[in-house]
């Protein structure tokens, strides 16, 4: 499989007209339910906009929380809004070691059986029985992008980072939605392993 991928796609790397994909590095963050915003920040509290994110409608809030696990805490963890139906914590494996938890690698939203974690806010704290994951790397794109790249929703591809620390990431899932802006989402461990930063460009290599 890898053989064919590289065979068919090797030339792409050297075709300057080929579209590249900008990198978006996700630092540790949390999505909160309305119920948990109430618990952590007070009844009826509304998250304040700090800055808008590249995906439309998503924003980083001014507020932050502390995460706690059996081995340690991490302070000033950014909250991403708007509120979601279910609270979800996304950390790197480096963070997980520091907290003393062992989260599964999952797509966002898939939290059944994921790691327990404690979230501490200014007005209260929440013990989640499940909810902490390490996010699977993925590419957001619109339907038009998907057509141009000749890929489809949920397809897995390789992604090449032509950096000083060159890496090929396998099993990267394509996620297509009309509202998605083209971006390769990785966590800080993945970014550091390849010495990638926001707005660096990467290439897709298709599976066969």
Q: How far is the CB of 44 from its own copies (least distance, A)?
A: 37
Under rule CB under 8 A, residue 5 binds its own copies: yes
Under rule CB under 8 A, residue 170 binds its own copies: yes
Q: How far is the CB of 192 from its own copies (least distance, A)?
A: 4
Interface of this chain with its own copies, residues 89 to 118, rule: CB under 8 A = 92-94, 105
Under rule CB under 8 A, residue 55 binds its own copies: no
Under rule CB under 8 A, residue 13 binds its own copies: yes
Hey, which residues does 52 pair with through a beta bridge? 59
Of 89, 111, 149, 169, the residue at the interface with its own copies (CB under 8 A) is 169
Under rule CB under 8 A, residue 66 binds its own copies: no
Q: Which residues of 42-72 are buried (b: 16+ CB within 10 A; e: fewer)?
A: eeebebeebeebebeeebbbebbbbbbbeee
- Is 58 or 94 the residue whose CB approaches its own copies more closely? 94
Under rule CB under 8 A, residue 2 binds its own copies: yes
Under rule CB under 8 A, residue 188 binds its own copies: yes
Under rule CB under 8 A, residue 15 binds its own copies: no
- Is 14 or 43 the residue whose CB approaches its own copies more closely? 14
Q: How far is the CB of 145 from its own copies (least distance, A)?
A: 24
What are the residues binding its own copies (CB under 8 A)?
2-3, 5-7, 10, 13, 92-94, 105, 137, 158, 164-171, 188-190, 192-195
């Amino acid at each position: 499989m890898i053989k064919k991928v590289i065979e068919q796609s090797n030339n792409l790397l050297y075709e300057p007209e080929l579209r590249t994909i900008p990198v978006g590095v996700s630092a540790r963050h949390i999505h909160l339910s309305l119920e948990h915003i109430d618990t952590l920040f007070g009844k009826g509290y509304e998250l304040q906009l700090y800055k808008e994110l590249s995906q439309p409608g998503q924003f980083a809030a001014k507020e932050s929380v502390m995460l706690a696990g059996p081995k340690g805490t991490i302070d000033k963890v950014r909250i991403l809004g708007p509120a979601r139906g279910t609270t979800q914590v996304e950390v790197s494996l480096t963070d997980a070691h520091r907290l003393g938890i062992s989260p599964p690698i999952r797509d966002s939203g898939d939290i059944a059986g994921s790691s327990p974690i404690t979230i501490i806010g200014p007005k209260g704290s929440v013990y989640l029985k499940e909810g902490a994951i390490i996010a699977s790397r993925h590419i957001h794109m619109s339907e038009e992008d998907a057509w141009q790249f000749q890929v489809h929703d949920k397809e897995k591809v390789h992604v090449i980072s032509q950096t000083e620390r060159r890496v090929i990431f396998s099993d990267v899932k394509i996620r297509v939605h009309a509202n998605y802006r083209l971006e390769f989402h990785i966590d800080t461990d993945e970014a550091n392993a390849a010495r990638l930063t926001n707005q660096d460009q990467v290439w897709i290599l298709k599976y066969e």
